[in-house]
Structure 1
Amino acid sequence: MKIHIFVDNQFYVEIDCNKESADVNSAYGISGAHRFAEYIDLAPGTYNVALFALNSVSNDNNVVLGPSLNESKDFKITIENTVPTPATPTGVKVDFITTNAAKISWNAVDGADGYTIVVPSSGASKTTTGTSVVIDGLTPGSLYEFQVSAYVFGTDGVPHDGSYASVEKRTMVQSPSNVVAKDVTLGTIKLEWDAVEGADGYEVSRRTGTDETYSYVVLDEVTDPSRVCPYLSVGTAYQFRVRYFYMVDGVKTYSDYSAPVTKNITISAPTGLKTTELSATSATLSWNAIEGVSGYEVSRRKGKSSEYDFISLDELTKTSRVCSNLAPGTTYTFKIRGYVIKNGNKVYGSAATIYVTTRLTAPVLNVTRPNASNANVRLNWTAVKGATGYKVERAESSEGPWTTVYSGTKLTYLDTNGSVNKRYYYRVSASNNGDSSIVRSMLIPTKPTNLRITATSKNSISLTWNTVPGSCIMYEVWRSRSKDSGYVCLGRYNTNFKKSTSLSAGTTYYYKVRAYFYYYDSDGGVHRIYSDYTPVLSGTTRR
């Protein structure tokens, strides 16, 4: 800072500086009209100024003061620090960033003596006279604001900053985390990892096996934190690794690689293995298809322990198998596994296991009507080995719904809740996982009505009656010469008429008819459930 002091005539000028950076006293002689004294490099502050009239100047330029020192003119001069404010830097950007450092650059500011770079969240601060700087000591994965301002030196020698411009950027993490490989289909996996905030993309690479002599091959660069990897070979191990990158001026800046993830490409165990049908001697198994396999192996062993060896039952391409020739009431272990053909050999996958206990043998059920005077039904059945009890069910349709009418250990049951001319269906099973018997139906038919004679001759009488509703209904026609005894069955008929022949002329005969419901048992034997007889009808042949 310089100061000019103007005077009208010859004066001696003395400045008393109260700043340490200036001389304590400076004196100059000036003469002539409108002369001035010039003082350079004065620091800002307030100065005392005195003007004295000169008497003479020595030859060696030493000033000699005259006697009129008391005629000085005193006043004060204040020098202010007038420093121009530098412009705000433009073009502030992050040239590159790593896990713990970042390079920041900006455009030059005219007149700036230097630049200050501040990172508020970390407390880091640097100055430079250039237009870029590297800030280190940052924390991986953290978001930082980088502030850049220009400064100029004032007359006091102190740098003075202008306004700052800033840019934000997150430091890179060491590598993508939580990389996992999930099976999609046979030979295809899906890699997934945690997204990295601010990443512009990810690079996925792979190598065959874990041998260090194998090189990684870059598969792809993706923007989402996942990648499907198809066409992998069954029975082969692969290693995958992932890294992410930032784009800076069209150039990728990469993170470290993730820890390698090893994936053995194997055939998964079939899912959905279940028993769809089960009897005392067979079990039908089904499972969900495995995409890409050549077929499935089904094997079986008796029991649940390793005491028995597995026996391969079959190799097939369908997803179900009927396993027959099983023992009633016996537990079996079944295994299903898929395989592929590789170099002419089968490569098997993991097996799904299911335990199956066959049902107990079904009892043989017989149904009878013990008394023609009521609608009671008697059920008898054979004993089943291993049964702890039996369950009798009844329905009014062969398809159900079924109602349990008896539970117990006996081998017989009397159903007293039936009705005449109403069909019932019965089945019985061992209560501890037994097969149900063959369903037996029972219809106690109503007795035929309106038995009547339609024609007579010397040796025949023709009869008819109203039909009884229902299926599996037939009729028996009985005849006697006595009303109260001696009846003989003429036969069984599926029609509602009968011509009684070989009779004697002029003779009275007595007739009665009954209906019956019939069914066959498992051995082919026929069973008949009878109605009551019609009232006795008499008829006399002609003479």
Structure 2
Amino acid sequence: PSAPVITVTPTQYNSLAISWDAIGGATGYAIYRSTSSSGSYALVTKVTSGTSYVNSSLATGTTYYYKVLAYRTEGAVITNSLYSAVKYAKVIPATPTATAISTGYNSVRISWPKVSGASGYTIYRCATEAGTYASLITTTSNSYTNTSLATGSTWYYKVAAYRLVGTTKVYGLQSEAISTMPVPATPAPTAVSTGYNSIKISWPAVAGASAYEVYSVGDKDTYLARVTTPYFTQSDLTPGTSYSYKVVAYKTMASSDVYGIYSNIVTASPIPSTPSISVLLNTYNSLNIKWNEIQGADKYEISRCDTSTGNFTKAGESVTTNFIDNNLTTGATYYYKVKAVIEPDVYGNESAILSSKVLPAAPVVTVTPTSYNSLSLSWDSADGVTGYRIYRSTSSKGTYVLVTTIPDGSITSYINSGLASGTTYYYKLIAYRTDGTVTTLSPYSAVKSAKVSPAIPDGVSAQSASYNSINITWNKVLGASGYTVYRCSALTGTYATLATVTTNSYTNIGLITGSTYYYKVAAYRLVGTTKVYGAYSQIVSDCPKPAAPIPTAASAGYKSVYINWPAVLGATGYEVYLTDQQTQTDKLLTRTSSLNYTHSSLITNKQYSYKVRAYTTLGDNTVFGSDSSIITATPIPSTPQISVDLNTINSIKISWEPIGGAEGYEVLRSATIDGTYEIISTISDAEYVDSGLTLQNSYYYKVRAYITDEPDNIYSNYSAPLGKVMLPKAPSPSAASYNYNSIKLTWDAVDGATGYLIYRSTSASGTYSFVYTITDGNTSYINPGLTTGTAYYYKVKAYTTTPNGEVYSDYSTYASSRPYTTAPIITTSVPIYNNIRIDWNAVEGASGYQVYRATTLDGTYGLIADIKTLNYINTGLAMEKTYYYKVRAYRTLGTTKVGGVYSDIEINKTRQPIKPNIIIDFKNTYVNYFSPDKSYDSPDYVGFYLYNNGQLPLTIYSKNALLYNYFDEYYNSSLVLHYDKDYDNIQAGPSEDGFVNFYTQEYPSWYDMDSIIYFDFMYDGIMYRGYVSYNHGCGYWKK
């Protein structure tokens, strides 16, 4: 085997360690030792496992030499390697493992574990790591503090152990160099809560420290503060949360700050502060525990015990700063402590323990004059009190005499009468409670006193009565003979007597508008001739001014608000202000004499605040009344006013007027009026048809308008809910007279209707009887056999046939009419310069006709004729004037004429008369034309040929036709128009011509071509007298 390579090192004061590298194939190793390198080596030991060996029990200070060989055993054969090279070492103490730490701003501490067998240690120091280390001190301790060092300067140290062998120090090796510097000591902080959101970190002052830095410790350290005091408080923390801190001290040197080591981490949680409590008497069986308010506390827990050192149990909780502990035992003593709590579970420390004995509470007494010879005592009611004892004295510190005992604890007042008017009396009370034979007394009340005098008037008020007067009122004082009212122009000025009255009110008139006046009242009682006055009332004041308006404000659309108010008596006008409640500033919007104002151009969905004040103008002076209360309103889209109507057999139409500014509408539906409404549509139109509905089901709707905004829409209020039962739509009938004994109903077809039922009544709210069923799809019905002029009312129901039977609509609204004769139709209307003729057709069932006329189309039509004919000539009219006519037929029932429907209005205008335009061919005038020789026995004829060249017909009459000779001698008294028979008159139409023949009633004595025929004719309504002669021509004149 190869020769091993060995090392020898000291291990401690009596041993050396030998180690070598492993030899391949070796069975073991033989270790040999000598005390000199060339001396005799003795076998120390053989090692069959491992590659090291500690040779102990050696002499300290002696050097030992070693060599090792490897051997291999194969059967009985042992094969040795060559010896290793000789290695040696001196036996010395072990090397210390030293550490150095700062122990203050000017000292460091070097320490090491004790070295086995060492007699002592020498410490070496150097200012640099590689410099020459000087012996600093030799010590038998295993530590040393090097003081008086410069803060922040680094020092290097080594330590060597030694063992005394006789008088010789045998040194071990020096330790590795270690270094440190003097820095301020590490603070030792503590952290405690100083309130619900703060923690105080404090520490003893560190010697030599200039200041301290405080850090919050978490996932990452956070610098909080640099302080020169040995404490720091962090605020704005979360209650109940754990916070961690560390602190480091530093010393400021010439060129830098020298920091010490960070402190240990300390933690604390902010909790509510500890209350300071008091325990007060309350009632006979309760105590009132009070404490100061703890910032941040949500509530307080109160604990109670019957001894100061016993087990305290929870008595209750309170969110205020007191707690009434009830149902206690009178005379027993109870102990309390309180702690603050932040929800849900952050608890403060408990207060100090305080106690009280349960006694009736001392009464709180008041003494007031009630009349000239009595005083009234009153006190607060004390629960559980058996009674009260009242004591009185004539001086506050004098002897108090028992006045009375009130054995009823429910009584809380007493009138002490028979007293001397003007004298002051002093009182104190105690409450007591009796349980069996034990009476427990409360403490005395505080002493209260009063002088016997009329009571102070209460309820005193001063109110502006008008722009120049104030009304002062008060409650009557028992026993008072009268009252004196005092006034001053300043609160603290001298009050002068204003009036002495026996009533309990007084109106001070003739005041200056807007000036403030101050008043007080005193009651007095006459004792003989002396007025004994009570105390003054409280001072009240006011100034004459208009009253404050009482306005209301409401949204008037998406950009406006409407403000209105009742009139204020005496006000000249009003000012309306926009109020900013955050900045408490007002902006005048308008000054107006009206009682309302609309504020426009606003921002939708923003709340606006307003106030109103009235003012009165007196000459150049304007006096303002008080501001009204502030009112608010928010402009939002107006609320839709919906109508809900049946639309088709399976749909309902919801409609409303468009809302100003609205960008859309939400339509919601429910099965019941008070049920849950769900959105069924969002639309931009102002109507929606909800289809696919089920017959006989109820549907309710409401609608709201909206304006699109970010992040949310701005909505109006919901409309009032309206609903319908899904039925066929109710028809909308109309009724009209059909003729004198029938009425015709018509309606629009109803979607899905199978038929219609018709009902009739003789009054709008009367009983409607079934009349007729329509099943053929018609949408009209004529109701015959009715009485002319009688009112009839109709309702119609639609129905649809389903597999489950008929489903009926609601009744329609009623339609009514009366049977009247129908309207005449005016067939012709002919103006005849100052006459107008009207013709009309006959009306079925008519008894007669009434003609009405007016001078304007919409004027009053007056009856001008009641006739039975079918025409009427209205004569005597003004020329060139328009007239308006209407005609109605009537039917006579008994003695009553029932008028029918008026005709359409006929308009016509009179004109200037048209002159005749006729030509008479007088050469064709003849006498005895048919029997000129007088040989016939037939009557004689005369005649002429006429041309009517006018535009109107011409009528020639028999009446007044005469035959004369040339000398106007009368021939015949009566000519008669004749052609093939006798006529009263004949007519020649426009542009017509022909013979006009007369025959004589008797033969004239003579006649010839000089004879003259006279006749009457009418043209354009005017009667003319005409003449014609063969020899003497023709002519006419107006009669």
TM-score band (shorter)? 0.3 to 0.5
Q: Which has the higher contact order (CA 8 A, sep 6+)?
A: 1
Larger radius of gyration: 2
- TM-score normalised per structure 1: 0.40
- TM-score normalised per structure 2: 0.23
